[in-house]
Amino acid sequence: MWSLARALLFLFPAEEAHEVGKVLMRLLAALLPAPRKIQNNPIGLAAGFDKNADLLDILPKFGFGHAEIGTVTPRPQGGNPRPRLFRNPNDRTIFNRMGFNNLGAGIISERVRRIRPRLPEGFKLGINLGKNKDTPDTLAAEDYAAAARPFLDLADYFVINVSSPNTPGLRALQSPSALLPILKRVRSEIADAGKSIPVWVKLAPELTGTGLRELIEALDQGGVAGFILTNTQGGVYIDEGQELPGGWSGQNLTGLSRERLNEVRTYTSLPLISVGGIMTADEAIERLKSGASEIQIYSGFVYEGPFLVRRILKALRNQG
């Protein structure tokens, strides 16, 4: 049935198909039982799929144990001009150059506030933080703190996103000198509110070797809770002869994301969340065996359908 539904959805341009897909998910969710409690579930929805918490209330019905909302910026942001989302079904890949389009921290936090009491016990909510496109790097730390502020009594964890290839210059913040002040400022915002919320950092798959090791070690010393590996792989998409910069996800990212997981595991004992190219239950199990404490799904959910998470959970149970 999913093959038929996917074929129909893929008749639409990718971004429109995503919106139609959300409507179909709501219709399907009405037929599914709602779990009362989440236990021993390491599978989450990756950031970018539910930017504005449109689906947050129904995600547990599809088997997710956590969800990462966003990327959320302090002020509403329209993102890059369309078209900005593309599919390549033959390669089972997705190319996105969305550009942190979202309703802004204020509106999204109020939406989350209404939904949060209805989420099952044990379901974890992450907020992926970004800076507005027009905010200079010198003020980036303030933007990340401002994006976190409305969620201080709602989030189970925060993620500092400096690894998206869709905002010009953002990846330049992936250095100890730039990233440590952002981490410090967000943690200070949390502490000033009397809260204890872990702060993770999401990194690009292209980072490797000495530079990656030094960054991991510096952030480890700076109080980061863990690392999310990885974001999309930077590249270009040729649309009617025009080169559009953005990021690739899906099956092409499987090997690269797995490599970064294995590499970073040698640099730190902190928890790691693996995301990128997890298209099957076997790959999900491989990531967990390789040292990921949790995994996240995005492209696999698009290509394999809404019951991929349940298949992974079943495979994990069969593993014992």
Residues marked as catalytic: 164
77 contacts: CB under 8 Å, gap ≥ 6: 99, 100, 101, 102, 104, 132, 133
Counting every residue written for the chain, the total comes to: 320
**Hunting for tokens 């399907």 — which residue is that?**
28
Rounded Cα distance between 18 and 229, Å, is 24
**How distant, in Å, are the alpha carbons of 130, 168, 186, 294, 312 from that of 273?**
19, 25, 20, 5, 16
Q: In 3-state terms, the chain is what percent helix, strand and coil (to 5)? A: 40, 20, 35
Cα distance between the two ends of the chain: 30
**Which DSSP string do the residues of 15-38 spell out, in sequence order?**
HHHHHHHHHHHHHHHTTSPPPSB-
Task: Specify the pairing of strand 242-250 against strand 233-239.
Answer: antiparallel
Residue pair 179/139 in contact (Cβ under 8 Å)? The answer is: no
From its phi and psi, is residue 242 left (phi > 0), alpha (psi between -120 and 50) or beta? beta
Which helix (H) or strand (E) segment holds residue 313: the answer is helix 308-319
Residue pair 109/151 in contact (Cβ under 8 Å)? The answer is: yes
**161, 306, 132: which is closest to 247 by C-alpha?**
161
Rounded Cα distance between 104 and 129, Å, is 10
